[in-house]
């Protein structure tokens, strides 16, 4: 897929950093070896001298083959001595070579003029990071999700004990994240504000990213206004990139659906994104404060039938945690 020039630039910079890091680390290892074993420095110097003098002999021309044979023999002998030095110091055989992130291309991003798979992955990762920039990823974890804010008294309206019920929701979300695969189901988290929907969806995002999947976590207002700005700012390149990432990432989490600015454009962004992903079997998690009736009113029947028919609904219940926390702080 095509990416914006910004993504190419950032990925290119990261690739240069990788190469530089490999060189710097090699230099450090080399100096450490010289410290514990000064003979290694001498051998390396001699090896350089040999290759320089081999070059000179070739230029001068006199009985080249014979002389080169002698130099080659010396060089092999020195190399063997160096290898043995590494072994006797319990160091790996490749200790004096660059340790690349990608051995296929030596962190250049190219193999014979073609883009290496590591560069393709880096471009994808960079594009996701760019989109996720405004999300508080890595701030939330399942471990930090406290059930203590949920009441242990039965809620008459729902007939549930919020503490017990949310414990099962937490367990479900953790299992979903741990077992995530591109075949996972799509979900909708529904319930009033401050019930932990964002916390748990961020925790899922973090776990699934750690498993190596491409995850985009965006709030509905952010993504709608980004696409709208790109459309009106004639930035069709970036708009196409964003749409493609939304459609193709392994997991898309659309937070706060229904809080975006109400417009035909916003409704069509939400519907098209969800519909495309459902049609191509890409899992999506939506979280929303809206009730089913409100979703129907806001987005229409088509959207509602997709959600009811194809998303597993997870209801969030309890008291607004943000309010409880504020009250606690005031005490
Ligand atoms: Zn590579």
Report how far ligand 1's centroid is from the alpha carbon of 297 (Å).
Answer: 50
Regarding whether 85 and 157 lie in a shared domain, the answer is: no
CB-based contacts of 277-281 (< 8 A; 24+ apart in sequence): 277/186, 277/246, 277/247, 277/252, 278/186, 278/306, 278/310, 280/247, 281/182, 281/183
Secondary structure (3-state) at 314: strand
| 128 inside domain | no
Q: Are residues 172 and 308 in the same domain?
A: yes
Please, which residues have CB less than 5 A from ligand 1, an ion? 102, 104-105, 116, 118
In a domain, 96, yes or no: yes
Tell me the pLDDT tens digit for each residue of 9-22: 999 999 999 999 99
Spatial CA neighbour of 212 closest among 243, 238, 249: 249
Domain of residue 114 covers 5-119
Q: What are phi and psi of 297, to 5 degrees?
A: -65, -40
Same domain, 266 and 322: yes
The verdict on 204 and 261 lying in the same domain is yes
pLDDT score at 239: 85
Q: Is the pTM of this model over 0.85?
A: no
Q: Are residues 113 and 161 in the same domain?
A: no
Q: Is the pLDDT of residue 224 over 90?
A: yes
How far, in Å, is the centroid of ligand 1 from the Cα of 123? 12
Q: Are residues 149 and 107 in the same domain?
A: no
Within-domain flag for 174? yes
Query: Is 217 inside a domain boundary?
Result: yes
Report the separation in Å between the CA atom of 25 and the middle of ligand 1, taken as the mean of its atom positions. Answer: 18
Q: Are residues 140 and 86 in the same domain?
A: no
Q: What is the mean pLDDT of residues 61-74?
A: 78
125 CA from centroid of ligand 1 (Å): 14
């Amino acid at each position: 897929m095509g990416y914006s020039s910004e993504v190419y630039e950032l990925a290119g910079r990261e690739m240069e950093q990788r190469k530089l890091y490999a060189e710097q680390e090699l230099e450090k290892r080399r100096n450490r070896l010289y410290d514990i074993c000064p003979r290694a420095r001498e051998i390396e110097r001699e090896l350089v001298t040999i290759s320089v003098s081999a070059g000179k002999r070739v230029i001068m021309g006199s009985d080249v083959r014979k002389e080169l044979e002698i130099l080659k023999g010396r060089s092999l002998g020195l190399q063997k001595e160096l290898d043995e030095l590494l072994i006797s110091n319990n160091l790996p055989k490749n200790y004096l070579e660059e340790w690349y992130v990608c051995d296929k291309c030596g962190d250049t991003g190219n193999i014979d003029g073609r883009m290496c798979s590591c560069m393709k992955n880096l471009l994808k990762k960079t594009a996701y990071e760019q989109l996720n920039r405004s999300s508080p990823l890595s701030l939330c974890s399942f471990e930090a999700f406290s059930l203590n804010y949920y009441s242990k008294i039965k809620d008459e309206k729902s007939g549930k004990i919020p503490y017990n019920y949310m414990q099962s929701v937490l367990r479900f979300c953790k299992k979903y994240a741990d077992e995530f695969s591109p075949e996972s189901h799509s979900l909708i988290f529904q319930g009033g504000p401050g019930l932990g929907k964002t916390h748990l969806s961020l925790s899922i995002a973090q776990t699934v990213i750690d498993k190596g999947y491409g995850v985009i976590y965006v709030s509905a207002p952010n993504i709608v206004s980004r696409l709208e700005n790109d459309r009106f700012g004639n930035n069709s390149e970036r708009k196409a990139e964003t749409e493609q990432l939304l459609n193709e990432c392994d997991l898309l989490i659309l937070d706060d659906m229904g809080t975006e600015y109400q417009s035909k454009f916003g409704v069509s962004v939400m519907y098209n994104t969800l519909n495309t992903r459902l049609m191509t079997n890409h899992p999506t998690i939506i979280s929303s404060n809206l009730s089913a009736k409100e979703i129907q009113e806001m987005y229409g029947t088509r959207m509602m039938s997709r959600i009811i028919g194809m998303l597993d609904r997870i209801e969030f219940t309890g008291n607004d945690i943000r309010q409880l926390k504020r009250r606690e702080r005031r005490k």
